[in-house]
C-alpha cells in the first residue's frame, strides 16, 4: 500500500495487486471463521470485529470492481484500505505500556489543538497586518 508510486515497474504493480488479493482473501476467511465460531451476534458484539468486517467487505467490493472491469471509473474504495492501519489499535488490549502511551497522547491533543488554533490566529493577524501593505500598490 505504501510502496506504490508514479512510473513504477510492471512487476511491482503485479506484486502489489497479488498481495492485495492474497491478504484480502486471508482477512475474508478469518472473518468468516469468526462468524462461524462466535455466531453473527457474538461477532458484532465486539467493536473491533465490526471494524474488521467493514474493511473486509470494502476490500471484497473493491476486488469485485477490479475483476468486473470497473477500473476506469475508480470509486475511491482503495483509499479506504488505509483504515487497515488502525488495526494496530488491537494491540492496546494486550500491551499496557502502549495503552498508557496512547492515553497520554489523547490527553495532550486538547493542548495541541489550543496551541494550533493560536498559531493560526497569529498567522492570520500578521498576514492581515503586514501582508496587505506589501500588496497595497497593486490594488
Q: Tens digits of per-residue pLDDT, 89-133? A: 777 778 888 888 888 988 999 889 999 999 999 999 988 888 766
Cβ 55 vs Cβ 84: under 8 Å: yes
102 shares a domain with 88: no
103 shares a domain with 41: no
Q: How many domains are there within the chain?
A: 2
Q: What percent of the chain has a predicted confidence (pLDDT) above 70?
A: 84
Sequence-separated (6 or more) residues with CB below 8 Å from residue 53: 31, 43, 44
Q: Tell me the whole-structure pTM to 2 decimals.
A: 0.60
109 shares a domain with 87: no
Per-residue cell: 25: 482473501
- Report the helix count and the strand count for the chain, using DSSP H and E: 4, 0
Domain that holds residue 64: 1-94
Give pLDDT, residue 77.
65
123 shares a domain with 76: no
74 shares a domain with 32: yes
32 shares a domain with 81: yes
83 shares a domain with 20: yes
CA distance 110 to 115: 9
Q: What are phi and psi of 69, to 5 degrees?
A: 90, 15
100 shares a domain with 89: no
pLDDT at position 69 over 80:
no
Amino acid at each position: 500500500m505504501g510502496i506504490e508510486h508514479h512510473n513504477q515497474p510492471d512487476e511491482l504493480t503485479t506484486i502489489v495487486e497479488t498481495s492485495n488479493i492474497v491478504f484480502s482473501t486471508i482477512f475474508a476467511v478469518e472473518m468468516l471463521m469468526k462468524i462461524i465460531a462466535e455466531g453473527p451476534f457474538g461477532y458484532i458484539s465486539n467493536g473491533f470485529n465490526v471494524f474488521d468486517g467493514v474493511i473486509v467487505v470494502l476490500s471484497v467490493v473493491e476486488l469485485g470492481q477490479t475483476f468486473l472491469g470497473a477500473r476506469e471509473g475508480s470509486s475511491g474504495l482503495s483509499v479506504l484500505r488505509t483504515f487497515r492501519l488502525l488495526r494496530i489499535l488491537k494491540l492496546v488490549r494486550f500491551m499496557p505500556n502502549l495503552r498508557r502511551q496512547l492515553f497520554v497522547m489523547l490527553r495532550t491533543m486538547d493542548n495541541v489543538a489550543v496551541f494550533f488554533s493560536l498559531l493560526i490566529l497569529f498567522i492570520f493577524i500578521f498576514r492581515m497586518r503586514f501582508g496587505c501593505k506589501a500588496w497595497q500598490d497593486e490594488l
